[in-house]
Structure 1
Amino acid sequence: MSDYNPKASTDHRICFVGDSFVQGTSDQLCLGWAGRLIQSAVARRINITHYNLGIRRDTSRDIAARWEAECAARLPADCEQLLVFSFGVNDTSIYEGSLRVPEQESLANCQSILSTATARYKTLMIGPPPMPDASHNRRVAQLDQQFADIAAGLNVPYLSVFEVLRKDEHWLKEAIANDFAHPRQQGYERLAGLVQDWSEWWFK
């Protein structure tokens, strides 16, 4: 369990970095799971500014190339600097007959991103969610476990959400009815709840 105990009076700045699932694509309320977590923190009178740095179709390769500059511009030294990563689904997508990012590159990107981030910021990682496609899910599940191992080796708290959401009544049902990828309001609410209930989440 994290020993971080946020104070309401502290100026907290937090960046959520990742892909369309971080961005909250298809959520009717335009909040996604990240926005819901911040709503909850604000309701607890936490002084917090959040930045959603999720970009649709981004892979770990894309995130590795951009996250440092984007976060440095938003996390000044005179505030509480917090960082949450989530990516991987796009790495495991097949494009023109090949993985968008080869597995070993995905793992190297994750290692590099987390090792650099945790040396500068308080850092968490949320694992990739499931897709409504069995073969894609096998690749996501494998990458999720490998990401978890990398995070553990770096002492970065990691929340795997794959299995819970794979069995959730809303996540895959909403994704199938929507665009065969992204859930809608109830799916994002479920993911936000998983993070909110996690022992490592900062704002209880």
Structure 2
Amino acid sequence: MSTGAIGHRICCFGDSLVNGVRDGEKGGWPMRLGRRLLDEAKREVTIYNLGIRAETTDGLKARWKFEAELRMVPEFPTVLMFSFGVNDANHAEDRGEETTMRVSPAKSAGNAAEIIGAAAELAPTLWIGPQAVINGSRSSQEINERLEGLNQIYLETARGFDVPYLDLFQRTLEDETWQRALRRGDGYHPDKAGYDRLAEMIWDWDGLKRAVGLIE
């Protein structure tokens, strides 16, 4: 384990659950992560919250590398963090009882492989799997069923690129703190307590700690 104020630049890419929509403290889990790295680990990190609300993997694929390279400098190590999937799984078109995904599973899988494969060649990369939406109506249950499928695809993709993957789908589907926070939010975005819980799960992850040198 290394010590001292290592100035990592951590780029956090994703959608509104990265951005922190409905977070009373603003900043979502990236802000909380940066605060804990500074206060508890004494690391002089720079956190870039690069989440865009409603963005699918189509949009992320088009922008992430340009935005990452703008923030990379030789003097400081860079870590790239990604979390996406909910918008791909969301309803694109409602035809009575039938709905279609905004991005098909095959397209989402292809986008994810392209993003993560290129990111892993550019800098140390971490992948946080999609979080469950509220376990309630038939509509949200359908989204969760899609997310469960995407999560398995993403997990296998991460293994293929040897990229650490934090599998959060089942945990957030069953976690009462997360589900209560979604009920206080809008069913897709939690309130402050949900972001606190999500940040705690990420903070406890060995993949993160290894990437920033807190453990071997």
Q: Secondary structure at 1:142's aligned position in 2?
A: helix
Aligned residue type for 1:10:
I
Residue matched to 2:90: 93
Residue matched to 2:109: 107
Query: 1:118-175, CA deviations, whole angstroms, 9 ceiling, x for partnerless residues?
Result: 0010100000000122111000011011101000010000001111111111222222
TM-score by length of 2: 0.88
TM-score by length of 1: 0.94
Structure 1 runs of 4+ aligned residues shifted over 6 Å read none
Of residues 13-22 and 70-79 in structure 1, the stretch that sits farther from structure 2 once superposed is 70-79
More helix by share: 2
Identity in percent:
35
Q: Secondary structure at 1:15's aligned position in 2?
A: strand
Query: 1:19-74, CA deviations, whole angstroms, 9 ceiling, x for partnerless residues?
Result: 00001111111131111111100012101111000000011111000000011101
Matches within 5 A, 1:34-183: 34-43=30-39, 44-97=41-94, 98-132=100-134, 133-183=140-190
Larger radius of gyration: 2
Aligned residue type for 1:188:
Y
The answer (yes or no) to whether the contact 1:107–1:147 under 8 Å persists in 2 is: yes
Gaps of 5+ in 1: none
Q: Secondary structure at 1:96's aligned position in 2?
A: strand
Aligned residue type for 1:20:
S
Aligned residue type for 1:21:
L
For residues 59 and 95 of structure 1, the distance between their equivalents in structure 2, rounded to whole angstroms, comes to 11
For residues 33 and 61 of structure 1, the distance between their equivalents in structure 2, rounded to whole angstroms, comes to 23
Aligned residue type for 2:21:
T
For residues 20 and 9 of structure 1, the distance between their equivalents in structure 2, rounded to whole angstroms, comes to 30
What is the root-mean-square deviation in Å for CA atoms of aligned residues? 1.3
The answer (yes or no) to whether the contact 1:14–1:75 under 8 Å persists in 2 is: no
